[in-house]
Structure 1
Amino acid sequence: MVLDKLKEGLKKGVKALAHGTKMLATNISVNIAYNQKKKELKRALLNRFIVRQLEEIALEKGISFHGTNPITGEKWVAVTKATKVKVLAKQLSFGEVVELARRYHIPYRDLVNELERYRAKLESKMAKVKAENKIAEVIQALQEFKPEPVRDEEELEKQLYQYLKARLPGIPIQRQVYLGPYRIDLQVGPCGVELKIPRSKTHLQRLIGQVRDYSEYLDCMVTLILDTGQVSRLTSYIETLEETGIIPIIIQGRLKQKQEQPTKPAPKHYKPKRHYPKHRHKRKYKTKRKRRKRS
């Protein structure tokens, strides 16, 4: 028992580490790409200055166009415009070059806008990666859900809600959420979750139509099907859901047995009521029976 729990905890830890590593790698690659783009645009803006302006900037900022190679000891001099731009680009930030361009009336707005668009693109990429990680986390939690026996879908929904609140504390979870004219059972972060305890194939056919409509409002739509053994051949329905972009999850479960309510024993002082026959009308006059004369 302890070993199983240890294995389960280790498995979750490995998955969490994988998600964290992916996020870290994405952050690093995004930062590298942004800084590279900024350097590229900084050099492009410096190239719009004339040589005399570049020399004035170097003099003002205390930047020398002479130097010595630290490895070979060879002396160098920045003679061409390209080499002077290279020297200044190493010493000045993008913001400083923009300020200098504004002062010298050099057009710069297009390059600033290009950098902003590039940053928005990278942020969109980061948001997409974060959303994908959240979706993966939600799906994993749903797959590991093990419900207690339930009476109906409402009871299953309550159990799942409490489980997800404890399992995913950093993700917003809501019950009975409206999507336009429709209402889904749960919304977990970016994912909508529709629950179903199929008692017949008709229930599953109706479910396919429902979630198709819901998926128009969400990036991620999940159907959680509690398999109680009442419907066979679920695979064909699962394939249909997957073809429409829905994520089907089947979990095994049981329904509560309906118990007859026991009759309460009668109290000791209880006396059953006597049922009397209906009152009959009494005869008003009594008639005497005539005696037969003996012969």
Structure 2
Amino acid sequence: MGFLDALKKVGEVAKKAADRAAKEVKWRKKVGEAKREILSRFTVKQLERIANSKGISLYEEDFVTGERWRLRTKGEIVAKLASNLSFQEVVDLARRYKVRYSDVVQELEKFRQKLFEEKQRKRSEQEILEDIYEADEFEEEFENESSKIIETITEFEPMGIVRDEKELRNQLASWLSAKLGKSVVKLEYPFEHGKVDILVKDEIAIEVKVADGKQKLKNLVGEVTTDKMYFSSVIAVIFDIGKDVGLEFFVNQLKALGATTIVIPAQIKRSGRRQEIIIRQGWKRIIIR
């Protein structure tokens, strides 16, 4: 086998691995959607009772004003419970409250077989549920891992002078490499439809932006929209330098897309034509999920 043939084969193997990973992401997202679908079949009173029995707070807080409010709509309550209950817990609750769920499970099975191009075969509900529980459990473990990475980002402290966004991105990648291991952090990772600023453990995409203009934040929303199609989790790290760019509007858009946003207060110091980006010490770093 010649060098070009070997290179081509490596490329094909990499593409197959990437395709499989993308399918796994789609499968786990579909499981999450199915969990919300089952919960949406409960009444609001039933959902509130479940939240109370499980110790799940139905209050949210505005990241800017600190104002707290109670979740009122069914959709809001369903989303909150879905993020705090496993699929198995939801199925057990459906059985207890006599809420239909089997049709959702069967639809999931059809989706899984088609997605992974498996030969259609009849399986018992319990066999199907075992696969669903496994995907949901992986997602839960993954969420715990994501939380650790988010915490690591909030502790980020640049070394030396940082002049622009690219240097911030590079330093954040170095920071994560030092904390998580160099082998799991990739800088400017290319994929089929773009490039991720930082990729952690092949599944967590991180986009970094200095909020110095609305167009840049619009671009960030577009990047996150694409990233969500290919990676299990997306984190947007925004350095807020105090410019009036409608930051809250864009943060809400990112939240609606299912991304986690970390807002880090910063300032720009200028000396002649040179500038330096400085992290504001003692200022609260905000996480929006």
Larger relative strand fraction: 2
Q: Which has the larger radius of gyration?
A: 1
TM-score of the pair, normalised by structure 2: 0.46
TM-score of the pair, normalised by structure 1: 0.45
